[in-house]
Amino acid sequence: MAMQNVSVMDGFNIVPEFQLTDYLGNTIDQSILDNNYTLVGFGFTNCPDVCPLMAFNMGMALQEMPANSQGVFISVDTERDSPQITHDYASTFHPRMSGFSGSIDQINNTSNNFKVSYTVTKTPSSYVVQHTSSIYLIGPNRELMNIFSFNDSAEVILKGFRDFHGN
């Protein structure tokens, strides 16, 4: 039976489709979402404050979520964050968190599907990455269940999950 890309949050038009690379060099796609509750966040591993807080909150929420829950951290810094670096970063926040990266085209397609904006600005004296820092809760049928702010605590994420899930 084919999974449906249905958003239960009308108006957001999030399409959880992607092709990225995992730390083993394998191409992964949206099929990793099937039958799982997934927290998805976009960021970069050299981020000084927003991304670590987002990943920490995702990891803390995963501790209380069902066993078929996972976290996905997608790096928008294709130049500095290899799939291995991104995975090593994400997995420090929880064993069920994975980090993925990809080519510029893959990251552009993925970020467009999630309505994420990002920009990388390089000058001789600086390297600045700016990005949407929301946490997306995707259900086991690839439906958007909720969107959280990067600084929403694990308790807020869990409440949003339970309100939708009924537990």
Element housing 20 (H / E):
strand 19-21
Q: Considering the entire predicted model, what is its pTM?
A: 0.89
Element housing 55 (H / E):
helix 50-64
More confident residue, 1 or 110: 110
Q: pLDDT by residue (tens digit) across 8-35?
A: 445 567 888 999 999 999 999 999 999 9
Q: At what angle do helices 50-64 and 154-165 cross, to 10 degrees?
A: 50
Question: Tokens at residue 125, please?
Answer: 């004296």
Taken in order of first residue, the domains within the chain and their CATH numbers are 34-165 (3.40.30.10)
Rounded mean pLDDT, 58-75: 96
